[in-house]
Amino acid sequence: MSGLIILTGVFVTAFISGVFGMAGGLILMGILALVLPVSAAMVVHGVVQSVSNGWRAILHARWIDWRILGIYLFGSGAAAALLVLATFELSKPWLFIVLGLVPGVIWLPRRWVHFDAARPSHAVACGFTVTGLNVVAGVSGPLLDVFFADTERDRRCIVATKAATQVVSHAVKIAYYVLPALAAESLPQAQWLLVAAPLAIIGTTLGARFLAMMSDIQFRQWTKWIVSAIGLVYIARGLIILTGVAP
């Protein structure tokens, strides 16, 4: 049953990510955290999202801003180097709470936080903070969106470039959690991941077609409200687990 839940979640969330360039990963992480230990959920999420984001980047390859991606890698590499020195894993209730808090960054007033991924210093900061948060919480889409919200690019460039950066961040996450997951023998059987990969590609492809029918205004408005609603659900779930009302 858990395998069926994971596969269904992979397809649906890949479609959502194909449209908005985020939100899908946030939902999938919550689904995986329900049925898998934290380290295994991180690895499976990283693998699936790497396929989903990688395929999305391929679909929109001509729209990728390679300059932003190249600078992003410097910050991401710095985060990876720092994480090598630390061993850290959130408990399941706190994982849900942190997941729920992540979307809050998109509501910060622009006069408080004004980032632009097209600026080199901001691209480096983006790589460092997004990769770090991705390892700690499993997702970082809402934070990534803060760096692209005021970037003078259309929705296709934003989705494509964000997808490429996420492939890098998820690779770091997989490397960080794969040994603990293997040691605990908590990873799903390989055949589930082999089925999940094409489902992620199909969902992403369908989402890309839907994206082409949206306007830039619709794209930005829907993204903000969807991830916020998901965040509130996760915070509630984490608090419920902490109080012992539910496992």
pLDDT in tens, 176-206: 999 888 887 777 776 677 788 788 889 888 8
Query: Tens digits of per-residue pLDDT, 18-44?
Result: 777 667 788 888 888 888 888 888 998
Q: What's the number of domains the chain is made of?
A: 1
Which residue stretches of 152-215 are H helix? 155-183, 190-212
Calpha distance 49→31 (Å, rounded): 13
Residue 21 has a pLDDT of: 61
User: Would you call 202 exposed, middle or buried from its count of C-beta atoms within 10 A (0-12, 13-18, 19+)?
Assistant: middle
Give yes or no for a contact between 59 and 15, defined as CB atoms under 8 angstroms apart: no
The separation between CA 182 and the C-alpha centre of its own chain, rounded to angstroms, equals 22
Single pTM value for the model: 0.82
What is the extent of the structural domain holding 49? Answer: 2-243
Query: Tens digits of per-residue pLDDT, 53-68?
Result: 898 899 889 999 999 9
- In the chain, what percentage of residues exceed pLDDT 70? 94
Q: Which residues contact 183 (CB under 8 A, 6 or more apart)?
A: none
